[in-house]
Amino acid sequence: MTMTRRELIKALGGLGALALTDAPALAKSRSKKAHVVIVGGGIGGATAAKYLRLAAPGARITLIDPTRRFVTCLRSNDVAVGHMTLDDITFTYDALRTKYRANIIHDRVIGFDPDKKTVQMDAGGKLGYDKLIVSPGIDFIYGDVEGYSREAATTSMPHAWKAGPQTLLLKKQLEAMPQGGTFLMVSPPNPFRCPPGPYERASLVAEWFQKHNPKAKVVILDHKDAFTKDGPFKKAWERLYGYNSDNSMIEWIPAAQGGKPLRVDAANRTVIAGAGSFQADVVNYIAPQRAGTIAFRMGLTNREGWCPVNRRTFESEIVKDVFVIGDAAIADAMPKSGYSANSQAKVAVQAIADQLAGKTPGEPSMINVCYSLAGQDYGVSIADIFKVVDNRIVKLPASGVSPITDSPAQPLLEAVYQRNWHRTFANDCFA
């Protein structure tokens, strides 16, 4: 039996077969079928892969991420207090692979050539691209305060700001606290991933204490004097945890009152701040943040450690044909949230599809809606629509945070919405 060349290529399939074709044929297939490579399979990267397939049925799509399953930071606070399990917030790339025909490669990107338009993988060799989407997320700055280190973060002072083993470590430490102990949180300086996250976590820990450790307390040392949704959060703390009373289960120390950490004694679980020395049973030190390390290695960051982009397209202002989305991108009024990453992915996909079709990228539209829990049955939210004006992303007026009302239905419904939303949202990214 003999096989034609075409049959042989078909039988071998995919990337391996391309290596067998001669150079002119490769060039021809390139021009016909654009190759979009996505680095990072979090919410931004996954949404981009899916929406790209919907926008460009003929494109070749490759997504590279070292991990086989993605754990959402969304709802990881529920895991830390035992309302959900890690499995509940873990998602696979199966649908992206089968339903949306994206080639998923579990590998690490270790090199990048913007002139030749290739990325170098650790095990898988070089990969050429026509357009590259980078969704690197965040990494931590360990050297900001004396005594705090990467080592401290994995032992006595977990951040639990990337969901997974850190979430379970914090959970274990919370459960091991002595009765009447102190849970100390350091809330990071702006900008950082998930602006309401620290305050949701403080709330859920206080609620957990009401059941399991009624005399324990949450102390928040803050780099800031204000935080997102602070109005409805503080009202909820008053209603649920005695905030502003002598028996408050939550104490919030803003920067103006000495909340900024100055030094850390990791071995003794102590944080020294302007307001004094705080020794605690659990120290949840949420470190200052910057763009994910891969963005630095690829030369996509500015001096502040984040990635400047054209706000209408999310194309890097540093490297052409590279798009940076999600927490790492500088997006002005948009918070660093999963919801923002999902929305930015759709804008980048529109721009790429338009560019590949030889058109000027169309007008963008972006959104962020964040639900947070101040208790299991008490939600607060923020909802904003964004437009681009003079290459800056601006919030449209009149949208914003949950109203504070006397209606018990509002916060209860927001909590119900939050639970349902996580399912729908995860589907929009991964299914």
Stretch that binds other proteins, among 34-42, 169-177, 178-186, 361-369 (CB under 8 A): 361-369
Task: Name the one residue in this structure whose structure tokens are 């729908």.
Answer: 424
The yes or no reply on residue 226 touching other proteins (CB under 8 A) is no
What is the nearest approach in angstroms of other proteins to the Cβ of residue 394? 11
Stretch that binds other proteins, among 60-68, 81-89, 146-154, 423-431 (CB under 8 A): 423-431
Q: Which is nearer to other proteins, 14 or 403 (CB)?
A: 403
CB 153 within 8 A of CB 287: yes
Among candidate residues 35, 36, 39, the one with its CA nearest the CA of residue 110: 39
Among candidate residues 236, 174, 246, the one with its CA nearest the CA of residue 211: 174
- For residue 415, the Cα-to-chain-centroid distance in whole angstroms is 21
The yes or no reply on residue 306 touching other proteins (CB under 8 A) is no
CA distance 380 to 401: 8
- Label the pairing between strands 217-222 and 289-291: unpaired
The yes or no reply on residue 364 touching other proteins (CB under 8 A) is yes
39 strand-pairing partners = 64, 134
C-alpha Rg value of the chain to the nearest Å: 23
What is the nearest approach in angstroms of other proteins to the Cβ of residue 310? 16
Q: Which is nearer to other proteins, 99 or 215 (CB)?
A: 99
Among candidate residues 146, 221, 147, 145, the one with its CA nearest the CA of residue 182: 221
- For residue 353, the Cα-to-chain-centroid distance in whole angstroms is 24
What is the nearest approach in angstroms of other proteins to the Cβ of residue 314? 13
Stretch that binds other proteins, among 11-19, 165-173, 238-246, 340-348 (CB under 8 A): 340-348
Q: Mask: binding to other proteins, 365-404, rule CB under 8 A, as x and -?
A: xxx-x-----------x-xxxx---------xxxxx----
Among candidate residues 357, 416, 327, 408, the one with its CA nearest the CA of residue 73: 327
Which residues have C-beta within 8 Å of that of residue 66, sequence separation ≥ 6? 106, 107, 108
Strand, coil or helix: 409: helix
Q: Which is nearer to other proteins, 85 or 420 (CB)?
A: 420
With CB under 8 A as the rule, give the number of residues binding other proteins.
38
Q: Which is nearer to other proteins, 217 or 346 (CB)?
A: 346
What is the nearest approach in angstroms of other proteins to the Cβ of residue 354? 10
CA distance 399 to 327: 22
Q: Mask: binding to other proteins, 35-54, rule CB under 8 A, as x and -?
A: ---------------xx--x
The yes or no reply on residue 421 touching other proteins (CB under 8 A) is yes
Residues in contact with other proteins by the rule CB under 8 A: 50-51, 54, 339, 342-343, 346-347, 350, 362-367, 369, 381, 383-386, 396-400, 410, 413-414, 416-417, 420-421, 423-425, 427-428
